[in-house]
Amino acid sequence: MSLGGGVIRLNVNQRPEPHAEAALLAGCKRRDDAAFARLIDLYQARVFGFVRRMIRDEEEARDVTQEVFIRAYQALDRFDGRASLRTWLFRIAYNLCIDRARRAERFPIPHQLDTENESDEVCDTTLGHWNPEQVVLNTELRDVIEGAIGSMSEKLRTVLLLHDREDMAYEEIAATIDVPVGTVKSRLFLARQALQQRIGVYLNSSSEEIR
């Protein structure tokens, strides 16, 4: 199966209504090639964007993205529809990313941004959404943000990307990565805190340089 000839189509704002998703799923389960092509068209760019930030290497991310949809196609008969198609696809993507990381021994070293203070207690996550389109003032700051995300553990990076980029609710993230909602909130709080600290260091150093 080929995903658009290697070209990632950017249909990031397209999401079917529940009734349309049910019809799409029914078509996919009938092995309707047009229906499955529509599913790829709807979700490919989002899945690739998530995988790309989890794995970093673009070619490997493309391979994993293609594998996500191959796995989905193979597992259609076992998908009961209780979760949304998006949650299901991102769960497959998340598990593949974790498997790749384990095989390649790419987990962050202990002193990097990690989850040592993580708990299932509800944390205040009102630091605000990470919104690259609003935050990024220049290429250098964008690199700082991407570097901060890349240095997080996969646990923090996952919830940050799913919540602030994919606009997933806490419950949907919890279903995607199979953890309690309280853990999702705790990880999101730590991820945002770490990101804001890194941005603060950059902004402070920049202001010192121009004095």
Half-sphere exposure of 103 (CA within 13 A, CB side): 7
Both 93 and 142 in a single domain? no
| pTM assigned to the model | 0.72
**How confident is residue 19, by pLDDT bands cut at 50, 70 and 90?**
confident
- pLDDT of residue 28 exceeding 80, the answer is yes
- Name the domain boundary from 57, 87, 104: 104
- Return the percentage of the chain with pLDDT > 90, whole number: 45
Packed helices 85-104 and 33-55: angle between N→C axes, nearest 10 degrees: 40
Q: What is the pLDDT of residue 109?
A: 37
Question: Looking at residue 83, which CATH number applies to its domain?
Answer: 1.10.1740.10
Question: Residue range 34-46: average pLDDT?
Answer: 93
Both 94 and 9 in a single domain? yes
Which whole-number Å values give the CA distances from 123 to 146, 174, 209, in the listed order? 24, 15, 36
Domain that holds residue 161: 132-209
Q: Give 79-125 pLDDT, tens digit per residue.
A: 988 888 999 999 999 999 998 878 776 444 333 334 444 544 444 44
Q: Give 141-158 pLDDT, tens digit per residue.
A: 778 888 888 889 989 999
Q: What is the pLDDT of residue 111?
A: 35
The total of other beta-carbon atoms located within 10 Å of residue 119's CB is 12
pLDDT higher at 61 or 204: 61
Q: What is the pLDDT of residue 145?
A: 84
In whole angstroms, give the CA distance from residue 106 to residue 101.
5
Q: What is the pLDDT of residue 210?
A: 53
**How confident is residue 207, by pLDDT bands cut at 50, 70 and 90?**
low
Q: How many domains does the chain have?
A: 2
Residue 123 lies in a domain: no
- Return the percentage of the chain with pLDDT > 70, whole number: 73
The total of other beta-carbon atoms located within 10 Å of residue 48's CB is 22
Average pLDDT value for the chain: 79
Residue 49 lies in a domain: yes
CB 146 within 8 A of CB 101: no
Q: What is the pLDDT of residue 103?
A: 78
* Residue 56 backbone phi and psi in degrees, to 5: 85, -50
* Residue 67 backbone phi and psi in degrees, to 5: -65, -35
- Name the domain boundary from 87, 104, 121: 104
Residue 190 lies in a domain: yes
Both 99 and 142 in a single domain? no
Q: What is the pLDDT of residue 17?
A: 72
Q: Give 174-206 pLDDT, tens digit per residue.
A: 999 999 999 999 999 999 999 988 888 888 776
